[in-house]
Structure 1
Amino acid sequence: MDLSSPSQSNLEYMIEGIKTKLKMASAAAMQASSFSLNRYEDIHDIYEVVMDSDRLSIAQVEALVSELGQLRK
């Protein structure tokens, strides 16, 4: 999938990928509609970090989830 251009469908794809990879217990609380396309690049950066990592420590997961929380509308 080409994620280089901001779109709602790309945003939804990345959020779902992040939730799946992080195995988030509160995944239902993080909906793609909670994020603005204005923050697309920031979310894309987080997506790349998550997808490129084979394993993330608990501290890394917490930091990423915290960052996502700050990016919500």
Structure 2
Amino acid sequence: MKRICPGPRVRAVVKRYQPHAKPVKNAERLVFLCYMLFLKRLAAASCVEAQENKQKTVTGQHVKKVLKNVLKASKG
């Protein structure tokens, strides 16, 4: 069975940006889940933006247009 959460990759990214952090045992799973929720919100907002422009496909312009708002909402 294929693993859903890429643990070593997540740990490498966390270590790159926070070199002195010592994550707990399942921290990479939590980081990965937060990342997936962010992508879900971004995709949903981009889809709404495309529908408002009466287009059937989501393009990079739609994603760029809603990215700032989604980042602000996800900051927590």
Fold agreement, TM-score > 0.5: no
Q: Which has the higher contact order (CA 8 A, sep 6+)?
A: 1
> Please, what TM-score do these two structures have when normalized by structure 1?
0.36
**Structure number with bigger Rg:** 2
> Please, what TM-score do these two structures have when normalized by structure 2?
0.36
